[in-house]
Amino acid sequence: MTAGIARRGLLVDWGGVLTTDLFASFRAFCELEGLDPEAVPRRFRDDQASRDLLIGLETGALGELEFERRFAAILGVAPARLIDRMFSGSQLESTMLAAVGAARRAGVRTGLISNSWGTGRYDRRLLAELFDGVVISGEVGVRKPAPRIYRLGADAIGLPPSECVFVDDLPFNLTPARELGMATIHHVDPRGTIADLERLLGVSLT
């Protein structure tokens, strides 16, 4: 789009953007389980077997219970409610939720693009309040950073990618969106993200 013209669509990640830091939750889980604080992200980053389990879970190819059983064995912890335990330190980020709601009320088309750890973990009533379109990886069988999921997100809110802003806490998830023509924001803290969104969308979110 031409510089200075506000974009009409907002696409956001869930975990780590509309919730508090997931990696802080993973560290807290590890400490409670007597593991090295970086054990979980290191496994997903460096261990192919763990990464394959994560990909299977996020694309819906692997069920939650099977993921929990197999990943617990890798970590050396009990499998019961493993996903819930790993996410127990994560809470909804009320400031960001309010900003998305304000954007929608201002006429911005809003959408979710989320890599899911089980599709039943979302508050569907809240999603309906916040978003015009929802793309959850376990429901569509594709996960970020595959380019197709960003196209699905734009389609879900009825806009071309070039008219959308995409927000994610993981930098490598931003690159495909940017290559499709989306403006991108690396979410670090709500204040900075909201300031960037107000500039790109041309609306007040506070």
d(CA 109, CA 83): 31
**Is the predicted pLDDT of residue 2 greater than 70, yes or no?**
no
Summarised one tens digit per residue, pLDDT across range 54-82 is: 999 999 999 999 999 999 999 999 999 99
Structural class in CATH, domain 9-20+92-201: alpha beta
146 within 8 A of 179, measured Cβ to Cβ = no
Summarised one tens digit per residue, pLDDT across range 146-201 is: 999 999 999 999 999 999 999 999 999 999 999 999 999 999 999 999 999 999 99
66 within 8 A of 59, measured Cβ to Cβ = no
> Which pair of tokens denotes residue 39?
């054990």
Domain boundaries, the chain: 9-20+92-201, 22-87
Look up residue 161 and give its DSSP letter.
G
d(CA 66, CA 57): 9
> What's the pLDDT score for residue 4?
58
> What's the pLDDT score for residue 133?
98
Task: Reduce the secondary structure of the chain to three states and give it as a string.
Answer: CCCCCCCCEEEECCCCCCECCHHHHHHHHHHHCCCCCCHHHHHHHHCHHHHHHHHHHHHCCCCHHHHHHHHHHHHCCCCCCHHHHHHCCCCECHHHHHHHHHHHHCCCEEEEEECCCCHHHCCHHHHHHHCCEEEEHHHHCCCCCCHHHHHHHHHHCCCCHHHEEEEECCHHHHHHHHHCCCEEEECCCHHHHHHHHHHHHCCCCC
Inter-CA distances, 82 with 17, 51, 71, 138, Å: 22, 16, 9, 18
Within its chain, how far is the Cα of 65 from the centroid? 21
**Is the predicted pLDDT of residue 1 greater than 60, yes or no?**
no
d(CA 191, CA 86): 26
pTM here is 0.94
d(CA 55, CA 58): 5
10 within 8 A of 167, measured Cβ to Cβ = yes
* Nearest one of 124, 172, 101, 133 to 11, comparing CA atoms: 133
